[in-house]
């Protein structure tokens, strides 16, 4: 049921019984309009042509029944502005004529327009999302590369694509053989620490060098790369698997061969970022420093592993700007257990544009001199 807002109308018209305007006033919201020219004109002459019949009905109803029904009218102002107004007309006592009060529907129509535009935008976004989901599903299911989605919080498998299912001899998709299965169960027990260290580095830094690991019932070698993605259910690790065996189709790939060589090398090797934090270490480095756990190494500062760590970092940073591999040393590499190792360091500058990270290869060296940075006295 409509109620006349007599306390705050936007337009008030004083009319005679023929519908001629004898006075007009506007609210502050319409104070910029001048309607003095309406006085003496028929109300019907101030509205849009299609609204004329509505105005006549309101005047007639007010004369006959004292009050008219609410009607929406397009009111035209002398300035040329048109405004949708909801009017009702009331008969005054003692033959004083009629009064028409109207409330602007501009805010309502603007809100309706915004809601309609928002609805259309949501519909467009919905179909865009559906299209993206379809493309993702097509790529995920038909990719020749093995892909596994794992919950970042629990490391439980969310989904595997057909290539990964075939490679690991498990059922593809989200079936009971896959959903919420512990991913670590697929990893060789001796390599789980390395995998956890990789994932922790990805979680903190957004990326990390891939590792060679053995997965599945047959302990097949795979080069595993990880990235972090956001989903409705939370953060997920997207794991990409590339065959890592010497007889695999990518065995001749120089980048893959280098990663395999570094991981299986007898010499220790680490990658440090611009702050000197170790973001990658091969198993030989972990063994040499005697931690027994990759997690104790990843995220630690390089200087922690030398008696004079600050001097070592200064030499490494200087060598990092060189255009060629730069040897440093010999130096004493500390170990958690057992004696320190006397090794030479070779600082390798990356070829990519990102030169904030450098690789450091440790090789057997002669006994250090007392002037060598990082040696014990």
Tell me what pLDDT residue 1 has: 40
pLDDT over 60 (residue 353): no
Q: What sign results for the dihedral spanned by CA atoms 164, 169, 175, 179?
A: negative
Contact 70, 88 (CB under 8 A): yes
Question: 21-35, 162-176, 234-248, 260-274: which range is least confident on average?
Answer: 162-176
Structure token digits, residue 88 = 């009702």
Question: 100-104, 129-133, 328-332, 353-357: which range is least confident on average?
Answer: 353-357
Q: Residues 30-40: pLDDT tens digits?
A: 888 999 999 99
Contact 306, 312 (CB under 8 A): yes
pLDDT over 70 (residue 86): yes
Which of 113, 29, 106 has its CA nearest to residue 75? Answer: 106
Tell me what pLDDT residue 316 has: 82
Tell me what pLDDT residue 135 has: 65
Tell me what pLDDT residue 206 has: 76
The pLDDT > 90 percentage for the chain reads 20
Answer with the one of 104, 132, 158 that is the final residue of a domain. 104
Are 91 and 64 contained in the same domain? yes
pLDDT over 70 (residue 247): no
What is the reported pTM? 0.40
Average pLDDT over residues 270-291: 84
Instruction: Answer whether residue 348 is part of any domain.
Output: yes
Tell me what pLDDT residue 333 has: 87
**How distant, in Å, are the alpha carbons of 54, 109, 255, 294, 309 from that of 290?**
93, 74, 29, 10, 18
Tell me what pLDDT residue 131 has: 67
Question: 84-88, 307-311, 319-323: which range is least confident on average?
Answer: 319-323
Instruction: Answer whether residue 53 is part of any domain.
Output: yes
Instruction: Answer whether residue 134 is part of any domain.
Output: no
Q: Residues 46-81: pLDDT tens digits?
A: 999 889 999 999 999 999 999 999 999 999 999 999
> In the structure, what pLDDT confidence band is assigned to residue 218 with cuts at 50, 70 and 90?
confident
Q: Residues 153-193: pLDDT tens digits?
A: 999 988 888 888 877 777 655 544 555 678 888 888 888 88
Contact 39, 24 (CB under 8 A): yes
Domain residues for 281?
265-364
Instruction: Compute how many other C-beta atoms are within 10 angstroms of the C-beta atom of residue 253.
Output: 14
Are 298 and 316 contained in the same domain? yes
Are 242 and 152 contained in the same domain? yes
Tell me what pLDDT residue 352 has: 53
Average pLDDT over residues 230-248: 73
Question: 31-40, 160-169, 228-237, 248-257: which range is least confident on average?
Answer: 248-257
Tell me what pLDDT residue 138 has: 65
> In the structure, what pLDDT confidence band is assigned to residue 249 with cuts at 50, 70 and 90?
very low
Mean pLDDT of the chain: 79
Answer with the one of 82, 104, 126 that is the final residue of a domain. 104
Are 318 and 291 contained in the same domain? yes
CA distance 22 to 290: 101
> In the structure, what pLDDT confidence band is assigned to residue 2 with cuts at 50, 70 and 90?
very low
* Strands ordered across the beta sheet of 11-15: 21-26, 11-15, 98-104, 82-91, 71-76
Higher pLDDT, 345 or 53: 53
CATH number of the domain enclosing 64: 3.30.450.20
Structure token digits, residue 280 = 């990658």
pLDDT over 50 (residue 3): no
Tell me what pLDDT residue 45 has: 95
182 contacts: CB under 8 Å, gap ≥ 6: 155, 156, 157
Q: What is the DSSP letter of 29?
A: G
Instruction: Answer whether residue 373 is part of any domain.
Output: no
Higher pLDDT, 350 or 71: 71
pLDDT over 70 (residue 7): no
Are 50 and 85 contained in the same domain? yes
Q: Residues 21-30: pLDDT tens digits?
A: 999 999 988 8
Structure token digits, residue 39 = 């006085």
How many domains is the chain built from? 3
CA distance 8 to 28: 10
Are 178 and 283 contained in the same domain? no
Report the DSSP beta bridge partners of residue 346. Answer: 327, 361
Tell me what pLDDT residue 71 has: 92
Answer with the one of 227, 260, 293 that is the final residue of a domain. 260
CA distance 307 to 234: 43
Question: 137-151, 171-185, 255-269: which range is least confident on average?
Answer: 171-185
Are 153 and 232 contained in the same domain? yes
Are 250 and 269 contained in the same domain? no
Residue that has been written with the tokens 């299609």 in this structure: 50
Are 186 and 274 contained in the same domain? no
Are 96 and 199 contained in the same domain? no
Tell me what pLDDT residue 322 has: 66
């Amino acid at each position: 049921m409509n109620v006349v807002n007599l306390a705050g109308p936007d337009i008030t018209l004083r009319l005679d019984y023929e519908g001629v305007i004898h006075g007009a006033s506007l609210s502050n919201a319409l104070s910029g309009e001048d309607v003095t020219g309406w006085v003496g004109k028929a109300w019907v002459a101030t509205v849009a042509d299609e609204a004329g019949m509505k105005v006549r009905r309101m005047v007639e109803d007010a004369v006959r029944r004292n009050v008219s029904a609410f009607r929406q009218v397009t009111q035209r102002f002398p300035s040329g502005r048109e405004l949708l107004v909801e009017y009702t007309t009331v008969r005054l006592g003692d033959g004083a004529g009629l009064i028409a009060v109207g409330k602007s529907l501009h805010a309502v129509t603007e809100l309706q327009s915004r809601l309609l535009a928002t609805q259309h935008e949501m519909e467009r976004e919905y179909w865009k999302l559906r299209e993206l989901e379809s493309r993702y599903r097509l790529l995920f299911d038909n990719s020749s590369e093995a892909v596994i989605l794992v919950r970042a919080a629990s490391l439980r498998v969310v989904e595997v694509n057909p290539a990964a299912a075939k490679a690991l001899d498990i059922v593809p998709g989200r079936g009971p053989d896959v959903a919420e299965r512990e991913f670590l169960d697929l990893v060789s027990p001796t390599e789980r620490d390395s995998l956890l260290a990789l994932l922790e580095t990805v979680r903190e830094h957004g990326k990390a060098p891939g590792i060679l690991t053995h997965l599945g019932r047959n302990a097949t070698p795979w080069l595993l790369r990880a990235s972090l993605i956001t989903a409705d259910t939370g953060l997920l690790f997207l794991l990409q698997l590339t065959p890592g065996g010497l007889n695999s189709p990518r065995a001749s790939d120089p980048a893959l061969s280098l990663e395999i060589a570094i991981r299986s090398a007898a010499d220790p090797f680490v990658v440090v970022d611009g702050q000197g934090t170790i973001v990658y270490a091969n198993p030989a480095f972990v063994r040499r420093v005697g931690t027994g756990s990759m997690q104790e190494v990843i995220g630690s500062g390089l200087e922690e592993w030398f008696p004079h760590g600050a001097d070592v970092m200064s030499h490494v940073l200087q060598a990092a700007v060189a255009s060629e591999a730069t040897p440093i040393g010999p130096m004493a590499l500390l170990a958690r257990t057992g004696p320190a190792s006397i090794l030479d360091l070779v600082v390798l500058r990356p070829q990519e544009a990102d030169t904030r990270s450098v690789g450091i290869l440790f090789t057997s060296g002669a006994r250090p001199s007392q002037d060598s940075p990082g040696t014990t006295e």
